[in-house]
Amino acid sequence: MTDSTQSLATETVLELLRKPSRRVVVDRLADASERATLDTLAEALRKPAHAETPSHERTDAPSVHLHHVDLPMLARADVIEYDPDAGTVGRGTNFEEVADLLELIENHRGDGSVAFS
């Protein structure tokens, strides 16, 4: 990490990853070689593979929810760069920090290594 970037607080990162729709955005950008479009991200939320995403985020205009809630929140934390006019989303300076934590969580999901009570 360089002096020009500042690490996000753990609580901030966990709040950003709390919603399944924001996890989908981070996951899709981690897999993408280029900027993603709002439409592509919204379509990913509609897919049955994201059944844990609340139904209102999958069926009732997920692009509106992304545009007004999730993408601005991720952009404020500089996790993504969002261009609402072009409808494109790219990685921000704090992206890797958040994506790395999401990957760690996903890799340990269901393996019994972390127990919550």
Tell me the C-alpha distance between 90 and 110, whole Å. 30
Query: CB within 8 A of 68, min separation 6: which ones?
Result: none
pLDDT tens per residue, range 23-74: 999 999 999 999 999 999 999 988 766 555 555 444 557 889 999 999 999 9
pLDDT tens per residue, range 93-107: 999 999 999 999 988
pTM of the model: 0.79
Residue ranges of domains in the chain: 22-104
- Is the predicted pLDDT of residue 20 greater than 80, yes or no? yes
Tell me the C-alpha distance between 81 and 77, whole Å. 10
Architecture per CATH, domain 22-104, reads as Orthogonal Bundle (1.10)
